[in-house]
Structure 1
Amino acid sequence: MKHIAIVTGASRGIGLAISQILLSLNYVVYGVCRNPENCNYHHPEFHLLKGDLSNPNTIPNFLNQIPNIDNISILVNNAGFSHFAPIEEFSPNKITEMTQVLLTSPMLLTNSLTRILKKNEGRIFFIGSISGIEISPWGNVYASLKAGLHQFARLLFDELRKYSVKVHLVIPDITKTEFYEQLNIEPDADPKSFLLPEQIANVIKFILTDSAGQVIPEILVRPEVFKIKRKKFEK
């Protein structure tokens, strides 16, 4: 029986790249996303489940769709979205939605699957953000939630290591994905100034194929140079 991996936000960007790496390592991958029909990638062992992580009631619904759920050995908490603005411009609904997707849902998923992961001596990956470390203009809500996710992962590492469950926090810097679609900045054209989703996925592969007896609890991945540009909007 093949091992099963769950990846949130699996239909594009970093989540899709991680899913493809896991498939290459012979995992059956169940991806969770809002709109599975928009994903153009297909593989016989890649199964996209519809789930809105801003609604906690959907979590048991999509978990119940996974056959052989007791074979889950990897959980990748990756899903997220960005919204940067002065704090007074956030609506209460937007703050609640971001909190649910970026912090509460990873906690709920981890809570739901930890007993299985203990039995299988599995792994939990958290995809963090450089925003959770550094100060960014108008990044108040997003950065605070990512910092909270970082701390949750760090505390979980110590809690679960005695059960041989390995917890890994991967913190990417600027990565060229759809993340910047709604922002007024974007990665520079210089290919040395941004990461690609495949590079983050290769970090996951490195961790999974690393020597037994050691764990990488946290890794920060940064591009070679720092450059970013403001988008030009037509007047």
Structure 2
Amino acid sequence: MNQKIEAPCCGKFYVCRLCHDNQENHQLDRFKVKEVQCAECKQIQQVQQCCKSCNSVFGEYYCDVCHLFDEDKKQYHCDKCGICRIGPKEDFFHCSKCNLCLGLSLQGNHKCIENVSRQNCPICLEDIHTSRIGAHVLPCGHLLHRTCYEEMLKEGYRCPLCMRSALDMTNYWRQLDGEVAQTPMPTEYQNMTVEILCNDCSARSNVQFHILGMKCHSCESYNTALDGKNRVQVQQR
């Protein structure tokens, strides 16, 4: 960036508010920024996109509300969110109940929770609402950064908060049905049953133990766990 913004709180100049917050013991209110210093000619002036003295461009993208200078990433300012988002704008909509911009694929197709974005991402632990990275709503209603969600799917399929399936696993469950049927357990385990708790529907079931997975009798999900309150039982022949 070709500029430094003056922090109205302490009068010091920083490239961005994050640089300020990392160095100081207080946070910079971006909306109160009034002046900027050109990195080329050192002229201090009213905050704007280009230097009034040497015409140096401070940022390909500039928001006159957030006082954000950045490279062009198809950003847009959402008045309802109150901050800038990475676009393009036409690929997103603002959900009034969630109070957050979401991808168009989630319009009418997500679980709304009032002000759900007022929390940290459970993956990276960074704030979701003020992040310019898009958010993804899981079927359970929990929220993650879109990029964190994509990374999560490389390692697993469950919500890190409630352990429910983060996407439709039906086809995989049916594939697992076939693998279980074709993989008989050793004789000593063939009559063993266990109590399981389903992470998807919260139902409890008594099922035959299998090393590949144990299916919920209620919703047919394999996203289950042994119920710690119950012991393994062996059926008598």
What TM-score comes out, normalization by structure 2 length? 0.23
The structure whose residues are more often strand, as a share, is: 2
What TM-score comes out, normalization by structure 1 length? 0.23
The structure whose residues are more often helix, as a share, is: 1
